[in-house]
């Protein structure tokens, strides 16, 4: 009987020691990575972000990219860079944007704030933003150096079937050459809304009239040593002034009122 009591006492003591030891041993920290490479992205996360979170975001952005690339069938010349942040406001500070800004793009680099797992609406908002930024950044890398910014932005907005703001009352755009060379020269949101309306309608017109495959061929043909006029005439099979005249007439029909020609 003594031996049995001794056995139970030892067993209880062993269990107690095990419980105490397990309580004092800290749980292993989640695995983290300095960088993460996917077929089309090089991701650099902040140290606080776990590997599991990086993998989830990597899967998300690869899916968006692959969906876009399967549509346009253009090769990506090099991987896009992604900087991944954990602290709210980090992306906004990069761009001097509003506090709620969670994504951004500059050259070939995407900036993304990690979404919180318990906030699905935040993940959806960030994903919706990436549905524009990833095709936009990728198409810039896929395009020849001479392709103007308006052709890229307009195509991505057209591809997304993005909702447009109210049509401008009038516009001074009378030629393809009148579009701003750089979007950062646009001064306010109203001007950006007008710009997005015009470039989306322009791309939609060119695709409807000449075909999407011809439009996309411009992205590889318009190298720095060629003019838009030369490439448009070769691809679309009409004189440049004829192309512009048909486009200008269409844009006029889309405005609230007023001409498109410069006064």
Q: What is the pLDDT of residue 256?
A: 65
What digits encode the pLDDT tens for the residues 189-212?
Answer: 888 889 999 999 999 999 999 999
Contact in structure between 235 and 210 (CB atoms under 8 Å): yes
Contact in structure between 173 and 254 (CB atoms under 8 Å): no
Query: Domain-by-domain residue ranges, the chain?
Result: 36-142, 149-254
Place 77 in a pLDDT band, splitting at 50, 70 and 90. Answer: confident
State the pTM of this model: 0.82
As a whole number of angstroms, the distance between CA 7 and CA 48 comes to 48
As a whole number of angstroms, the distance between CA 154 and CA 209 comes to 16
Place 263 in a pLDDT band, splitting at 50, 70 and 90. Answer: very low
Q: What is the pLDDT of residue 3?
A: 56
What digits encode the pLDDT tens for the residues 38-52?
Answer: 999 999 998 788 888
Q: What is the pLDDT of residue 29?
A: 59
Q: What is the pLDDT of residue 26?
A: 56
Alpha-carbon distances, residue 109 vs 73, 78, 81, 144, 249 (angstroms)? 22, 12, 5, 18, 38
Q: Return the CATH architecture of domain 36-142.
A: 3-Layer(aba) Sandwich (3.40)
Nearest in space to 138 (alpha carbons), one of 214, 217, 226, 77 = 77
Contact in structure between 260 and 170 (CB atoms under 8 Å): yes
Q: What is the average pLDDT across 150-172? A: 88
Q: What is the pLDDT of residue 260?
A: 43
């Amino acid at each position: 009987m003594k031996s049995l009591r001794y056995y139970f006492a030892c067993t209880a003591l062993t269990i107690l020691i095990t419980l105490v030891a397990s309580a004092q041993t800290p749980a292993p920290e989640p695995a983290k990575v300095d960088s993460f490479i996917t077929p089309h992205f090089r991701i650099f996360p902040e140290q606080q972000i776990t590997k599991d979170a990086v993998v989830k975001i990597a899967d998300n952005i690869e899916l968006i990219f692959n969906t876009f690339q399967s549509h346009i069938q253009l090769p990506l010349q090099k991987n896009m860079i992604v900087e991944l942040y954990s602290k709210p406001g980090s992306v906004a500070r990069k761009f001097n944007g509003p506090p709620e800004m969670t994504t951004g793009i500059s050259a070939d680099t995407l900036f993304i704030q990690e979404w919180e797992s318990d906030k699905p609406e935040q993940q959806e908002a960030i994903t919706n933003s990436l549905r524009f930024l990833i095709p936009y950044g990728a198409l810039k890398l896929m395009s020849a150096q001479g392709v103007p910014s308006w052709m890229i932005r307009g195509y991505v907005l057209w591809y997304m079937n993005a909702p447009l703001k109210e049509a401008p009352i009038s516009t001074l755009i009378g030629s393809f050459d009148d579009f701003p060379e750089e979007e950062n020269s646009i001064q306010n949101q109203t001007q950006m809304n007008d710009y997005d309306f015009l470039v989306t309608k322009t791309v939609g017109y060119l695709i409807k009239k000449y075909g999407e495959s011809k439009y996309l061929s411009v992205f590889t043909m318009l190298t720095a040593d060629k003019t838009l006029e030369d490439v448009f005439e070769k691809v679309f099979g009409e004189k440049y002034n004829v192309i512009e005249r048909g486009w200008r007439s269409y844009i006029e029909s889309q405005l609230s009122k007023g001409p498109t020609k410069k006064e």
